Amino acid sequence: MSQWVVFGFGNYLSDIFDIIGARQGRVKAIVGNLNYSEEKRNNLSRRLSLLGYEVRYWQLEDFRPSSEEQYCCGFISGRDQLATRLKREYEIRFANLIHPTSYIGLGVSIGEGFVMGPHSVVAPNCRIGDFVIINRATSVGHDSSLGDFATLAPGATIGGNVGIGRKSVVGIGATIVNDVNIGENAIVGAGSLVLKDVPDHVVVVGSPTHILRRNNPVANC
């Protein structure tokens, strides 16, 4: 049984535990960003107990890498900063975490720290960067490219030959048609229909989409 160490926790942690369990793995410990209030720590313990888990908590300074462990992030926003720090200070490599019900086509290249939820599809000849998250029931069309730290929320539909920039987020149930490019650090709102290119650092919403506002490149990731 594979042993996983999860760095950080957020609402996405339940999905991470679910995918690890579906791969017959076990979470050994949760590490870092644990300086939360007692209320938040109790909420984490409650959520883990519902999943049937009792997991050790380690502060980052207590972490020591082991060749017998695999590593992943347990949250979405801000994972670029934590992953960069961990790789620099501990020289670890993050594993790819792919649910067994998902499908990846021929000729797909995948970076480090990739997470793919259940019933999702990546069509042939796609390029997936480091620390990309593809959530549940999401479809990515052929020859598409997902930049580092890009996030696709549940039910998103990505057409063929689509480019999604670094640290961009595609919301729940959004649709991006063929041959469209999404810039870096952009956000596509839930349920949106994207028919044309989206520039860097903006939030787009609607069907078809329009620019709602700028997206702060520091605050979002």
Please give the helix or strand (H or E) that residue 47 lies within, else none.
Answer: helix 38-50
* Inside any domain, residue 185: yes
User: What's residue 33's pLDDT?
Assistant: 57
Task: CATH number of the domain at 143, please.
Answer: 2.160.10.10
DSSP 59-126: -GGG----TTEEEEES-STTHHHHHHHHHHHH---PPPEE-TT-EE-TT-EE-SS-EE-TT-EE-TT-
Which of 99, 119, 142, 210 is labelled catalytic?
142
Residues 102, 86 share a domain: no
Distance between CA atoms of residues 154 and 72, nearest Å: 19
Longest dimension (CA), the chain: 49
Residues 175, 122 share a domain: yes
210 catalytic per annotation = no
Residues 104, 72 share a domain: no
* Mean pLDDT for back-to-back runs of 10 residues, the chain (221 residues): 89 90 92 70 76 80 91 91 91 96 98 98 98 98 98 98 98 98 98 98 97 74 34
Residues 143, 73 share a domain: no
* Inside any domain, residue 220: no
- State which of 90, 112, 127 marks the end of a domain: 90
- State which of 75, 90, 105 marks the end of a domain: 90
User: What's residue 209's pLDDT?
Assistant: 97
Residues 186, 207 share a domain: yes
Both tokens assigned to 109: 């290249």
Range of the structural domain that residue 197 is part of:
97-214
The SS3 of residue 39 is helix
Distance between CA atoms of residues 210 and 195, nearest Å: 10
Residues 209, 118 share a domain: yes
Residues 24, 126 share a domain: no
Residues 54, 133 share a domain: no
Number of domains in the chain: 2
Distance between CA atoms of residues 180 and 174, nearest Å: 13
Contact by Cβ (8 Å): 170, 155: no
* Inside any domain, residue 146: yes
Residues 73, 11 share a domain: yes
User: What's residue 35's pLDDT?
Assistant: 61
CA distances from 180 to 91, 112, 163, 164, 192 (A): 36, 25, 7, 9, 14
Residues 200, 105 share a domain: yes
Residue 41: beta bridge partners?
none
Residues 130, 23 share a domain: no
List of residues 6+ apart from 16 with CB closer than 8 A: 6, 72, 73, 74, 97, 115
